[in-house]
């Protein structure tokens, strides 16, 4: 029986990064993955494939709608979805192979099969062909991730009523698509198809889309996406979705109690994800999941069983790849006796629509609820020379700073390249910068980052220069 110091169950960004860091720290390490490719949700059916399709569809959208204004004329423009999906598959393949290479490089043993606890130190692995083997582990890190969630009446049949996984492999551009949930997946995958010409109906339970982010972001995003072919039905409760052959029919009730019916070729269910622990045998080791299905952990990400840790989507907190990675590093370093640090307040969130949305720290609504005195600074993209040059005029940077100390408490950006720009805010906030600190740093001209400086000037002393 093979014996390891650290065994990780699940090879998503949490699991494979935990394995690499454990091996770097000198632990004899193994990783167990039930699928034949490594990388988990993120690499196989999440972050990477969705961004690949977002990039392809963005090229098509720009060629169709924006090139002409730049003096570029195209004829017979056509979107070939099969080719886009094939390119995406290649990107996924290369990225997953990269993880396999990293496992080899770090001398991590990879077991393909479903891992299940026999007891706290013995794990049984069942391969696809049914063969079983058992390995032993001094420490175990559970990184089994999550699966798409749904509510009664909207059960995906994976044919016409689909989850994000099927939405990444459609072979035809739908004429109409209903998206239940105006969150991250709904807007990203909705954008892919809207850019290819699909009419998108978003049915959202909350009063606006992106309800958990700073509300200014969703409000502006809603306006922008309407121009791309989105319709929004906010404050609507879905009562049922049916596959009626060639199409789907959805019924929902609005705030006034009126019923609406929507028809489309497909309905994408994107109402969040749920932690995945099926078949892990948690009952055999006395771990009980909470009401959200998460594995309870303490500040060291240790479960109620002392030698077993859990990270990523299967525990509390944002369901994000970089959060899972940080937790993987954290646990490995903790096991090595180090004192790692993880600032959950500074895990940035990004929505890869165009314009992009990116956020870090507290939202204005959170500061109000917490009773923290704050001041807000804003700067619109349309006042930037860079934005006029690229014609990316939509968006703004919003900075929230403490009213008395000027410390930056939250930064929220909607606009071109917001995903990359947010890192300036994360670094500044990690070092507890004030809005004035950011305002006094030279920002290259002409760049979108000038909007960060201007918003900081606005926050610190209401003295933006270019508006």
Please state the closest distance from residue 189 (CB atom) to ligand FAD, in A.
Answer: 7
Residue placing its CB nearer to ligand FAD in the complex, 32 or 331: 32
Closest CA to 451 of 406, 418, 423, 407: 418
Beta strands at 230-233 and 199-203: parallel, antiparallel or unpaired:
parallel
Please state the closest distance from residue 189 (CB atom) to ligand NAD, in A.
Answer: 8
| Per-residue 3-state assignment (H helix, E strand, C coil) for 6-52 | EEEECCCHHHHHHHHHHHHCCCCEEEEECCCCCCHHHHHHCHHHHHH
8 Å CB contact between 138 and 335: no
Please state the closest distance from residue 314 (CB atom) to ligand FAD, in A.
Answer: 6
* Residue 295 DSSP symbol: P
Residue placing its CB nearer to ligand FAD in the complex, 46 or 380: 46
Please state the closest distance from residue 389 (CB atom) to ligand NAD, in A.
Answer: 27
Please state the closest distance from residue 202 (CB atom) to ligand NAD, in A.
Answer: 9
Q: Which residue has the tokens 């978003």?
A: 202
Binding site for ligand FAD (CB under 6 A): 9-15, 32-35, 40-42, 46-47, 50, 114-115, 143-146, 164, 185, 276, 279-280, 312-313, 319-322, 324, 352
Q: Kindly list the strands in the beta sheet with 259-264, ordered across the sheet, starting from the edge strand earlier in the chain.
A: 237-243, 248-253, 259-264
- Which residues in the 169-208 window bind ligand NAD by CB under 6 A? 180-186, 188, 203-206
The CB-side HSE value for 208 (13 A sphere, CA atoms) comes to 15
Tokens read off for 88: 């995406």
Residue 367's Cβ-count burial label (10 Å; 0-12, 13-18, 19+) is: buried
Q: Does 151 bind ligand NAD (CB under 6 A)?
A: yes
**Rounded distance between C-alpha atoms, residue 168 and residue 229, angstroms:** 19
Q: Does 272 bind ligand NAD (CB under 6 A)?
A: yes
Residue placing its CB nearer to ligand NAD in the complex, 170 or 350: 350
Active site residue 445: yes
Q: What track of x and - describes contact with ligand NAD for positions 287 through 326 (by CB under 6 A)? A: -------------------------------xxx------
Residue nearest ligand NAD (C-beta atom): 183
8 Å CB contact between 160 and 248: yes
Residue placing its CB nearer to ligand FAD in the complex, 319 or 416: 319
- Which listed option, ligand FAD, ligand NAD, none, makes contact with residue 9 (CB within 5 to 8 Å by class)? ligand FAD
Q: Phi and psi of 261, rounded to 5°?
A: -120, 135
Select which of 233, 300, 322, 445 is catalytic. Answer: 445
Closest CA to 121 of 142, 102, 145, 139: 139
* Residue 68 DSSP symbol: G
Residue placing its CB nearer to ligand FAD in the complex, 196 or 456: 196
Vertex 47 angle, CA 429 and 59, to 5°: 100
Q: Does 271 bind ligand NAD (CB under 6 A)?
A: yes
Residue placing its CB nearer to ligand FAD in the complex, 115 or 380: 115
- Binding-site ranges for ligand NAD (CB under 6 A): 151, 180-186, 188, 203-206, 211, 238, 270-273, 318-320, 350-352
Q: Which residues are catalytic?
A: 445
């Amino acid at each position: 029986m093979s014996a390891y110091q650290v065994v990780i169950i699940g090879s998503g960004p949490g699991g494979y990064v935990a394995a690499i860091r454990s091996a770097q720290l000198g632990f004899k390490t193994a990783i167990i993955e039930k699928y034949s490719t490594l990388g988990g949700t993120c690499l196989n059916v999440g972050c990477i494939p969705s961004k690949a399709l977002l990039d392809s569809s963005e090229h098509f959208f720009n060629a169709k709608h924006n090139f002409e204004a730049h003096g570029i004329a195209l004829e017979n423009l056509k979107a070939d979805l099969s080719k886009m999906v094939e390119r995406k598959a290649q990107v996924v393949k290369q990225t997953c192979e990269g993880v396999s290479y990293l496992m080899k490089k770090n001398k991590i043993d990879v077991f393909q099969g479903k891992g299940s606890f026999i007891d706290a130190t013995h794990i049984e692995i069942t391969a696809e062909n049914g063969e079983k083997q058992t390995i032993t582990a001094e420490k175990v890190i559970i990184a089994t991730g999550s699966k798409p969630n749904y509510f009664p009446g909207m059960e995906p049949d994976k044919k016409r009523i689909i989850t994000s996984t099927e939405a990444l492999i459609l072979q035809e551009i739908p004429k109409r698509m209903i998206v239940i949930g105006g969150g991250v997946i709904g807007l990203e995958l909705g954008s892919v198809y809207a850019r290819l010409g699909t009419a998108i109906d978003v049915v959202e339970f909350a009063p606006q889309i992106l309800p958990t982010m700073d509300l200014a972001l969703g409000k502006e995003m809603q306006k922008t996406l309407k121009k791309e072919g989105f319709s929004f039905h906010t404050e609507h409760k879905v009562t049922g979705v049916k596959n009626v052959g060639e199409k789907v029919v959805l019924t929902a009730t609005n705030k006034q109690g009126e019923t609406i019916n929507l028809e489309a070729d497909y309905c994408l269910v994107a109402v969040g994800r749920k932690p995945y622990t099926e078949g892990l045998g948690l009952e055999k080791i006395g771990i009980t999941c909470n009401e959200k299905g998460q594995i309870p952990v303490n500040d060291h990400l240790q479960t109620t069983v002392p030698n077993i840790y859990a990270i990523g989507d299967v525990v509390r907190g944002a369901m994000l790849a970089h959060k899972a990675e940080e937790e993987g590093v954290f646990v490995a370093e903790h096991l090595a006796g180090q004192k790692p640090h993880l600032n959950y307040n500074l895990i940035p969130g990004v929505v890869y629509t165009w314009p992009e949305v990116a956020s870090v720290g507290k939202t204005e609504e959170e500061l109000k609820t917490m009773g923290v005195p704050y001041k807000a600074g804003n700067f619109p993209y349309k006042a930037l020379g860079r934005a006029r040059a690229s014609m990316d005029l939509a968006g703004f940077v919003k900075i929230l700073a403490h009213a008395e100390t000027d410390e930056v408490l939250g930064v929220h950006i909607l606009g071109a390249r917001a995903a990359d720009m947010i890192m300036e805010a994360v670094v500044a906030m990690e070092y507890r910068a004030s809005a004035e600190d950011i305002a006094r740093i030279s920002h290259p001209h002409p760049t979108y980052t000038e909007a960060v400086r201007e918003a900081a000037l606005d926050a610190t002393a209401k003295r933006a220069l270019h508006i």
